[in-house]
Amino acid sequence: MTELLAGRGIVITGSARGLGLAFAEACAAAGARVVMADILGQQVQTEAAGLQAKGYQVYPMTLDLADFDSITAVADAAIEALGKVDGLVNCGAIATGIGGLDLEQLESQTWDQVMAVNVRGLWQMTKALTPALRASGQGKVVNIASDTALWGAPKLLAYVASKGAVIAMGRSMARELGPDNICVNTLCPGLTLGEATDYVPEERHRQYVEGRAIPRPQTAEDVTGSLVYLLSDMANFVTGQTIPVNGGFVFN
């Protein structure tokens, strides 16, 4: 993936840990300058320092996707830091601490919080950076959904609904932004090993492994190649697509 993204400026939300952090490193390794934005301000600073020590050009910023003022501030700071924005990876989301409840147990407060971040926040982040993506002439947006929305994972209704909305929004965004030469695609990773999924019951991990066409645990590195491809010139005519990356647990 070396130099596939040379000279690109890319913003990645939710990049303090898990897939978002792996995406930041992969994009930087491919030659991009990367804004790492996350609500976990101290953690994103620490992880960015580690990547900077490797010689990567990364810029940590604190971002609250539930707060439009925070979104606009980060968008402005990202444009200033990078000079231009060629790519946006909408990875930030609430995923932990909201599962294990059936639809009768789910509280409205949890539902609203998940939608505020996972759906409204994604739209507003894209909205804030659309002028910069348009100006780049080669803008790419990659929204991170989940294969839970493709197979209908139980006892995770708010999250599944939010990721279903992400898939639908990506299709609409692709049609709206296509005339500006902005490609919008959606990745749907499966359950991925890492800090953010340590809370998931062993039974669910086993269900994924046993149900995959390639029957093994999924790692962040299994997803990064698809992301870099979608952000690169190799995907200049790919837009509006929903791509599961899950070892064949579900097919699209």
Q: Which residues are catalytic?
A: 159
- Give me the DSSP letters along the chain: -TTTTTT-EEEEES-SSHHHHHHHHHHHHTT-EEEEEES-HHHHHHHHHHHHHTT--EEEEE--TT-HHHHHHHHHHHHHHHSS--EEEE-----SS--S--TTT--HHHHHHHHIIIIIIHHHHHHHHHHHHHHHSS-EEEEE--THHHHT-TT-HHHHHHHHHHHHHHHHHHHHHGGGT-EEEEEEE--B-SGGGTTS-HHHHHHHHHHSSS-S-B-THHHHHHHHHHHSGGGTT--S-EEEESSSSS--
Tokens linked to 87: 């790519």
Of 43, 24, 46, residue with least CA distance to 35: 24
φ, ψ at 120 (rounded to 5°): -65, -40
